[in-house]
């Protein structure tokens, strides 16, 4: 394998004009230290621009309450700065104690809510700068971390969350955890700042003693995402990952993985060179080989990813432009050996794991729906209070899902009825059949916290779903599954380019509408209508539902129907009906 720092060191030495501003911030940061500790100690509400880039690697985003922006601007006040903290939770697996720590922190330092992400982790919103250290310190005290939950490194490693007595299922979770630990940054900066508070004596000593053996001093060109899928169940949206691993079983033992590469959702409006891309099969690797294969793929992206244009920096563009044969040859060259051909993949379902399920060993797990991942109390459902009560009383294992829901695991038969009854007192349903269309809906946080949001998502999707659900009921389609995803910008955090319908924010209360994906999440959907106002989204979907009801084949899903007949036909028919 070539010198691990050769490419990044060369980039740094080339001088002005090479590499983006963020690349230079990383290279001059002394392995992610920068002035983070110094600015953290200052009596101020926010960090400087350079430190904002670096704190991402520590699991922090600097944000503001954008609802207050105009009022504060009019009064001459500074922005209402606040921070989002994201925990790294491989495979979405945590203990009852770790759940309670996050729940406590939500009250003590955040905005009173927890948010389950689409990558199986927790986010705390509304944390003030002075509370960053105690919050992150407490998360580490619980034996979790926020390191590399954000930033230009491998992010939280996803895995099918469903527990089972089957040894292979637990091995999938084990592999996800091993990959996450193996690809974590080696810099001591995180522990110095947030955990033990001990600074190294001099910058010179740091530079001499510390390296990033895999990442190098400028880390990756952009964020990197990995997911591990169980055979037949694409619940983690494996084709959206930079590296997707699809497990292969021999009997009930995990033998290895078909390796997919080059997935990614992000794009930029008006820039055709940016677009979502599905991961493609690369090779097959045994369980013993998988760590070396994954690490080597990461180094290829490190060396060939675009460091000048961050909008073109994801690995999907390396794969698209250089091709799978080139990528495989480079992988084999660095490994010093050939790799096996990828094995065929078959999907049966995208299981959301909601409701009661036999876990094996006479234990059970319960999947609970969380609308858009937001754990909060409202007028009808005291979700946060009820979940906390249940966790304290029953002490279940906790799994977070890629659909932003939560599983309680390791429950006995005797606990089923009292847990169901307890949750019902808080208005929390345990039967997923009661959820209707919202069961398969997801949204990103968007406004008011996300700095990239162009419009709302989480706050408005429930109303849009209710409108579409009413139309489905009126058409006799109420029992038909329909996946709906909404984001406040085109970066794709809620994976809106997959599934039946995607709404992607363009500007305030205006969205692009995509259709024609599939429930198995193996196909990208396609732009159907541009710049649709929020109030017109359900009305734009309605005539398509009418066509689907009248012309679909037996058991044909909405996305499959739209894909089969094509956009031209759909436009012709809906325009004629007006």
Q: Where are the beta strands (DSSP E) in 361-396?
A: 363-368, 374-375
Q: Is 271 a catalytic residue?
A: no
Given the residues 88, 129, 223, 495, the one annotated as active site: 223
Report which secondary-structure segment, H or E, holds 347: strand 347-349
Percent of the chain as helix, strand, coil, to the nearest 5: 40, 20, 40
Q: Is 311 a catalytic residue?
A: no
Question: Which pair of structure tokens corresponds to residue 51?
Answer: 């430190």
Q: By three-state DSSP, how is residue 249 classified?
A: strand
Q: Is 248 a catalytic residue?
A: no
Separation between Cα atoms, residue 575 and residue 571, nearest integer Å: 6
Cβ neighbours around 74 below 10 Å, total = 8
Per-residue CA distances from 197 to 58, 101, 133, 135, 204 (Å): 14, 21, 10, 14, 19
Asked if residue 421 lies in contact with residue 432, where contact means CB atoms within 8 angstroms, the answer is no
The reply to whether omega before 316 is within 30° of 0 (cis) is: no
What is the spatial order of strands in the sheet that 60-64 belongs to?
A: 60-64, 81-86, 122-127, 114-116, 374-375
Q: Is 562 a catalytic residue?
A: no
Given the residues 115, 155, 384, 399, the one annotated as active site: 155
Buried b (16+ CB within 10 A) or exposed e, 516-537: bbbbbbbbbbeebbeebebeeb
Helix H, strand E, coil C: the string for 393-426 is: HHCCEEEECCCCCEEEEEEEHHHHHHHHHHHHHC
Given the residues 160, 248, 450, 562, the one annotated as active site: 450
Beta pairing class for 526-533 and 510-515 = antiparallel
Buried b (16+ CB within 10 A) or exposed e, 323-358: ebeebbebbeebbeeebeebeebebeebbbbbbbbe
Q: Is 86 a catalytic residue?
A: yes
Q: What is the dihedral of CA 406, 411, 414, 419, to 10 degrees?
A: -20
Given the residues 222, 444, 485, 562, the one annotated as active site: 444
Q: Is 450 a catalytic residue?
A: yes
Which has the closest alpha carbon to 512: 270, 317, 314? Answer: 270
Q: Name the packing angle between helices 461-474 and 537-551 (round to 10°).
A: 30
Separation between Cα atoms, residue 451 and residue 454, nearest integer Å: 9
Question: Which pair of structure tokens corresponds to residue 65?
Answer: 């309450």
What is the spatial order of strands in the sheet that 363-368 belongs to?
A: 93-94, 397-400, 406-412, 363-368, 355-360
What is the spatial order of strands in the sheet that 243-250 belongs to?
A: 158-159, 226-229, 243-250, 253-261, 280-286
Q: Is 493 a catalytic residue?
A: yes
Given the residues 26, 33, 86, 374, the one annotated as active site: 86
Report which secondary-structure segment, H or E, holds 464: helix 461-474
* Region class of 563: left (phi > 0), else alpha (psi between -120 and 50), else beta: alpha
Separation between Cα atoms, residue 220 and residue 4, nearest integer Å: 12
Just list the catalytic residues: 86, 155, 223, 225, 444, 450, 489, 493
């Amino acid at each position: 394998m070539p010198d691990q720092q050769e490419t990044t060191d060369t980039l740094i030495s080339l001088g002005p004009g090479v590499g983006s501003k963020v690349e230079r911030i990383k290279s001059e940061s002394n392995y992610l230290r920068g002035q983070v500790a110094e600015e953290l100690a200052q009596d101020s509400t926010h960090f400087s621009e350079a430190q904002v880039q670096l704190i991402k690697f520590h699991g922090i985003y600097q944000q503001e309450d954008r609802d207050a922006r105009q009022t504060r601007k009019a009064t001459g006040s500074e922005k209402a700065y606040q921070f989002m903290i994201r925990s790294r939770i491989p495979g979405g697996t945590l203990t009852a104690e770790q759940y309670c720590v996050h729940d406590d922190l939500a009250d003590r330092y955040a905005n009173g809510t927890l948010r389950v992400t689409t990558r199986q982790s927790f986010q705390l919103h509304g944390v003030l700068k002075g509370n960053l250290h105690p919050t992150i310190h407490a998360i580490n005290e619980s034996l979790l971390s926020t390191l590399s939950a954000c930033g230009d490194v491998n992010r939280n490693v996803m895995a099918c969350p469903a527990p089972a007595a089957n040894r292979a299922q637990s091995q999938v979770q084990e592999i996800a955890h091993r990959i996450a630990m193996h690809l974590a940054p080696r810099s001591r900066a995180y522990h110095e700042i947030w955990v033990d508070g001990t600074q190294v004596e001099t910058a010179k000593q740091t530079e001499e003693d510390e390296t990033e053996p895999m990442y190098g001093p400028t880390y990756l060109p952009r964020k990197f995402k990995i997911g591990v899928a169980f055979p037949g169940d694409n619940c983690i949206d494996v084709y959206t990952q930079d590296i997707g691993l699809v497990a292969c079983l021999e009997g009930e033992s995990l033998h290895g993985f078909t390796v997919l590469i080059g997935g990614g959702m992000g794009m930029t409006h008006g820039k055709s060179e940016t677009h979502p891309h599905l991961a493609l099969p690369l090779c097959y690797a045994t369980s013993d080989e998988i760590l070396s294969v994954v690490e080597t793929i990461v180094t290829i992206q490190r060396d060939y990813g675009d460091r000048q244009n961050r909008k073109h920096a994801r690995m999907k563009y390396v794969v698209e432009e250089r091709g799978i044969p080139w990528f495989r040859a480079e992988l084999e060259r660095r490994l010093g050996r050939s790799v096996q051909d990828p094995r065929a993949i078959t999907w049966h379902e995208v299981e959301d794991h909601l409701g009661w399920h036999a876990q094996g060993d006479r234990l059970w797990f319960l999947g609970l729906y969380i609308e858009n991942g937001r754990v909060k109390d409202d007028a009808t459902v005291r979700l946060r209070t009820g979940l906390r009560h249940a966790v304290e009383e029953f002490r279940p294992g906790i799994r977070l899902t890629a659909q932003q829901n939560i599983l309680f695991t390791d429950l006995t038969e005797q606990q089923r009825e009292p847990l169901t009854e307890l949750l019902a007192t808080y208005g929390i349903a345990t039967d997923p059949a009661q959820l209707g269309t919202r069961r398969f809906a997801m949204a990103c946080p968007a406004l008011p916290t996300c700095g990239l949001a162009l419009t709302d998502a989480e706050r408005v999707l429930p109303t849009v779903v209710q409108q579409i659900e009413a139309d489905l009921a009126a058409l006799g389609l109420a029992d038909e599954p329909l996946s709906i995803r909404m984001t406040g910008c085109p970066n794709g955090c809620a994976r809106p380019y997959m599934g039946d319908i995607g709404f992607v924010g363009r500007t305030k209360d205006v969205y692009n509408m995509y259709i024609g994906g599939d429930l198995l999440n193996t196909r990208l959907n396609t732009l159907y209508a541009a710049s649709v106002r929020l109030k017109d989204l359900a009305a734009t979907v309605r005539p398509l539902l009418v066509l689907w009801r009248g012309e679909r084949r037996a058991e044909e899903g909405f996305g499959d129907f739209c894909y089969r007949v094509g956009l031209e036909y759909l436009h012709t028919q809906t325009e004629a009906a007006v």
